[in-house]
Amino acid sequence: MIFGFPLLSVAIWLPIIFGLLVLATGNDRNAPLARVIALVGSILGFLVTIPLYVDFDKMTSAMQFVELRDWVTHFNIHYHLGVDGISVLFVLLNSFFTPLVVIAGWKVIEKRVAQYLAAFLIMSGLVNGVFVSLDAVLFYVFWEAMLIPMFIIIGVWGGTNRVYAAVKFFLYTFFGSVLMLIALLYLYIHSGGSFAILDYHQMAIPMTAQILVFIAFFMAFSVKVPMFPVHTWLPDAHVEAPTGGSVVLAAILLKVGAYGFIRFSMPIVPDASHHLAGVMIALSLIAVVYIGLVALVQTDMKKLVAYSSISHMGFVTLGFFIFNAYGMEGALLQMISHGFISGALFLCIGVLYDRMHTRNIADYGGVANKMPVFAAFFILFAMANVGLPGTSGFVGEFMVIMGTVKVNFWYAFTAATILVFGAAYTLWMVKRVIFGAVANQHVAQLTDITLREKLMFVILALTVLGMGLYPLPFTEIMHASVNDLLVHIARSKL
Amino acid sequence: MSYLSTLSSAYAEIFLLVMASSILIVDLFITDPNKTLTYILVQLTLLSCALITVTTHEPGVVHLFNNMFVDDLMSDVLKLLSYLAVSMVLVYSRSYLILRGLFTGEFMVLTLFALLGMMVMISATHFITLYIGLELLSLSLYAMVALQRDSATATEAAMKYFILGALASGLLLYGMSMLYGATGTLAVAAVSDAITHGVENKALLVFGLVFMVAGLAFKLGAVPFHMWVPDVYHGAPTAVTMLIGSAPKLAVFAFVMRILVDGLQPLVMHWSGMLAILAVLSMAIGNITAIAQTNLKRMLAYSTIAHMGFLLLGVLSGGIDGYSSAMFYVVIYVLMSLGGFGMIMLLSREGFEADMLNDFKGLNQRSPWLAFMMLILMFSMAGVPPTAGFYAKLSVLQAVVGAGHIPLAVMAVLFSLIGAFYYLRIVKLMYFDSPETHVKISIQPDNGLLISINGLAILALGIMPSTLITVCAIAVQKSLMLH
């Protein structure tokens, strides 16, 4: 906290308050005003999180910028916020994406603009809340509350099959969450009446209970990541969501699940985590290989990127459950980098969709002839998705593979197939969409990206390249926390 | 000290009885078809009752009328909430009933008598007073369901309600007589003492208990004694459904507390098992059947059944945590139920009942604010934070897990997952679909204000639940004879 200024609270509540302001502008007659307020709110929301990085003490693994207040005294629930080297990155990632989403929907969304923008701003605040909560109930409140705006976003502004996708999204994730609630209540009773997550980290738990708690957490987090075999909601949700929704889903919401593993599962029940690591690794590898193959046969661009996301998130969970520093840091970098890349790819698809109103790969061909600038960006992000050295995609994947080799060569070998499959499905899509002769009348009428779209892509391209060439700012901030976490997980809590 | 001043703890009941009888007479001379004066008098009566309850509150537990009546913190809190709920029912239903020609003096007086019945139930500590309170409430409600004489469904609902309600009362009475046979007393505390000191005829006692639990389950609407709930909720005029679905739940909660916790606590190992079966069945049948409904009133009826199952979970967990969580749950439930039925009445207009699910299609386009309020209500019923419904579920689950019934807790959350589906469907209809009609929604300002307060209160209680949870905990702690 600088000068007693509650930065984390501001990071949560500022976007929410702006969201309510946007909502108050009412119907679509005031849409321009709503857009301006939303943009100002989202940019302010990002600016207030910058001090979190600048003033962050990289030497310690302790929680920083801590805020602690009583909330529900009868159950000993506190309004307890704080960030360590891991969560601070996700707060920044989330706040960074909100302005981009607002810009992405600037011209495209025309019905119920205020509600659309408000939903994103409110969700942005709630997601920040998830990352900075140090109280289990507070975490759960944010965790569940963010479902509501996402449900509305998919259902109102989505594609043709949006209702099915929205309900499936909600019920899948709600199912996982309620079991986590039981686990949290068990921990509450077991700890003698505390909801503080950091207390749980120090608490001894018998093995059977650890396994059950691990399974309950697994239900909640694996659905969000999503891991095989509970991934089936993601392609539906992605395909039907509007562009902004897909971006936030891929860039932010998937990270929430993975974050849960390192904040809850692994430190609270380390013995069960070790015990079940084999299963987790197996599921991760299935995601990498099998989902990679599934991505290969997709005919819909959004579905392809959605499957690619699942495959890449398999890498993240693999990195966690091999329990070494390379794997863990690689996985975290992969999460950040995947946020940028998948967000960028969905924005690219959104740009095409806004012009052609189709996501079918077969409807495109030779886009580069008509949209050269766009094509350049698209290829850059596609290359990053493949994991080309020099882009952010490379760093994380490389580190995870290095970490995995230390544990088991065949794990690493299997995981490395992502480089092959990833290249195959991504580049094949690029070939069919971007290159070749102009495929049809509609493509021939395409116009290149506007200044607004260029702005989004330039920002993202710089980040992707910057992170690929110089990842130190990202690794050094998480270093102390990751090491501490690994030491902690290595200790038995039986 | 004069005799009258010793009755101060029952002043609210006495005042209400006097006022209800007077209003019945005064109303005869009011020619205004809208009964504005009667309405104002009734609201003033409710306000005065609240003032009397607050001013006559005494710390500790006061027994009256040879231990037949008690005044403690729990009863005061529940009574205040009942006044509030009844007052809200009247505000919500006024214009709805005026349009249907049902806003008569009888309606209001019956409401007051029903309230009096609730108050007696809340404060009773003797099987006879408990029974009198229950019958006063029930008889008033039977008459109110039948108020719309020319409606076949309403008459049918009233008939069903009356017959099944009479059966339930019979069961209760039969159970009471067995307990009397076993223990030789009808006073709740004395029954508890007698059982603790050992009863010769254990079988009679347990049989009595079974009948009592069955009777209570009838009144709560727990499965398998739930058959009347959907028909009555559906058939009665919405204003009456709202009354049945709100304040009486507070009274029935107190009823369960007095009988099972104060009176039959020594038999807890017997009744907690019965309640567990009732609770699981209620949550299962309630939630699953609600999915198949196309009528919102029926859907809310099944949802009530499921909520009562959840409430029973809190009761069977026992201890201050369990009972206070059940109390918190019932308070939040009443608030949500008022909002839900209130919304149906707000969207109704002359000759049109907005009680089908399809009537909510595209509400977001017709009135974004009402849609938002309904969204809060639905997510609260589903138990999604940051609404009050989440804390209600959390506190009950906390008690259940604390009592070591983890499988019950898991079942409860899985059934609420099923429940989430049909609440979501309403949100889906309001936000994702296009409206079937573009008739302008005209709401009276008082109704609009009330639904806003109602919805926002649920949101506010979800963000700041601390005070209400503490009040419930203290009320339970100070009032029940926990061993």
Q: Which residue, chain included where needed, has tokens 């990679």?
A: A292
Which chain A residues have a beta carbon less than 8 Å from that of B432?
A: 155-156, 162-163, 166
* Cα–Cα distance, A308 to A342 (Å, whole number): 9
- CB contact, 8 Å: A78 with chain B? no
Residue B483 has pLDDT above 60, yes or no: no
Candidates B402, B413, B428; nearest CB to A155:
B428
Of the pLDDT bands very low, low, confident and very high (cuts 50, 70, 90), residue A455 is: confident
* Cα–Cα distance, A84 to A470 (Å, whole number): 22
| Whether B347 contacts B441, CB under 8 Å | yes
| Whether B312 contacts B285, CB under 8 Å | no
* B427/A151 CB distance under 8 A: yes
- CB contact, 8 Å: B373 with chain A? no
Residue A419 has pLDDT above 90, yes or no: no
Which chain B residues have a beta carbon less than 8 Å from that of A162?
A: 432
Instruction: For residues A79-103, give the mean pLDDT.
Output: 89
Which site among A23, A140, A150, A181 would you substitute to test the B interface, given the most B Cβ atoms closer than 10 Å to its Cβ?
A: A181
Residue B37 has pLDDT above 70, yes or no: yes
* Cα–Cα distance, B69 to B187 (Å, whole number): 10
SS3 B125: coil
- CB contact, 8 Å: B318 with chain A? no
**Closest Cα of chain B to A76: distance in Å?**
10
Instruction: State the angle between helix axes of A472-490 and A325-356 in degrees (0 to 180), rounded to the nearest 10.
Output: 130
In B343-372, the residues whose Cβ lies within 8 Å of chain A are 364, 368
Spell out a b/e string for B84-111, using b for 16 or more CB atoms within 10 Å of the CB, else e. Answer: bbbbbbbbbbbbbbbebebbbbebbbbb
Give B114-151 pLDDT, tens digit per residue: 999 999 999 999 999 999 999 999 999 999 998 888 88
pTM of the model: 0.91
**Closest Cα of chain B to A26: distance in Å?**
9
Beta-carbon contacts of residue A290 (< 8 Å; ≥ 6 apart): A228
CB atoms within 10 A of CB B239: 26
* B469/A175 CB distance under 8 A: no
* Percent of chain A whose pLDDT exceeds 70: 99
Chain A to chain B, count of Cβ pairs less than 8 Å apart? 94
| Whether B255 contacts B177, CB under 8 Å | no
Residue B412 has pLDDT above 70, yes or no: yes
| Whether B324 contacts B476, CB under 8 Å | yes
Q: What pLDDT score does B100 carry?
A: 85
- CB contact, 8 Å: B471 with chain A? no
For the ranges A27-31, B165-169, B200-204, B307-311, the lowest mean pLDDT is seen at: A27-31
Q: What pLDDT score does B458 carry?
A: 93
Candidates B364, B395, B413; nearest CB to A182:
B413
* Cα–Cα distance, A51 to A6 (Å, whole number): 11
| Whether B183 contacts B194, CB under 8 Å | yes
* Cα–Cα distance, B76 to B51 (Å, whole number): 11
Break chain B into its structural domains and give their ranges.
7-479
Of A177, A157, A332, A350, nearest in space to A247 by CA: A350
Alpha helices (runs of H) in A202-324, residue ranges in sequence order: 207-224, 233-240, 243-248, 254-260, 266-268, 270-275, 277-286, 292-296, 301-320
**Closest Cα of chain B to A185: distance in Å?**
6
| Whether B481 contacts B262, CB under 8 Å | yes
Which site among A28, A30, A72 would you substitute to test the B interface, given the most B Cβ atoms closer than 10 Å to its Cβ?
A: A72
Of the pLDDT bands very low, low, confident and very high (cuts 50, 70, 90), residue A4 is: low
* Percent of chain A whose pLDDT exceeds 90: 16
Residue B481 has pLDDT above 70, yes or no: no
Which chain A residues have a beta carbon less than 8 Å from that of B391?
A: 72
- CB contact, 8 Å: B310 with chain A? no
Of the pLDDT bands very low, low, confident and very high (cuts 50, 70, 90), residue B283 is: very high
Q: The tokens of A437 are what?
A: 């002769």
Phi, psi (rounded to 5 degrees) for A103: -65, -40
Q: What pLDDT score does A3 carry?
A: 53
Instruction: For residues A228-256, give the mean pLDDT.
Output: 86
Residue A27 has pLDDT above 80, yes or no: no
Give B47-92 pLDDT, tens digit per residue: 999 999 998 888 878 888 888 888 888 899 999 999 999 999 999 9
Instruction: For residues B186-205, give the mean pLDDT.
Output: 85
* A189/B386 CB distance under 8 A: no
* Residue B17 exposed, middle or buried by CB count within 10 Å (0-12, 13-18, 19+): middle
Tell me the β-bridge partners of A360: A300
* A141/B390 CB distance under 8 A: yes
- CB contact, 8 Å: B401 with chain A? yes
* Cα–Cα distance, A124 to A17 (Å, whole number): 11
* Percent of chain B whose pLDDT exceeds 70: 99
Q: What pLDDT score does B147 carry?
A: 87
Of the pLDDT bands very low, low, confident and very high (cuts 50, 70, 90), residue A1 is: very low
Q: Which residue, chain included where needed, has tokens 């008082």?
A: B446
Q: The tokens of A131 are what?
A: 């990352």
- CB contact, 8 Å: A170 with chain B? yes
Q: What pLDDT score does A125 carry?
A: 92
Q: How far apart are the first and last CA of chain B?
A: 34
Of the pLDDT bands very low, low, confident and very high (cuts 50, 70, 90), residue B270 is: confident
* Cα–Cα distance, B261 to B483 (Å, whole number): 10
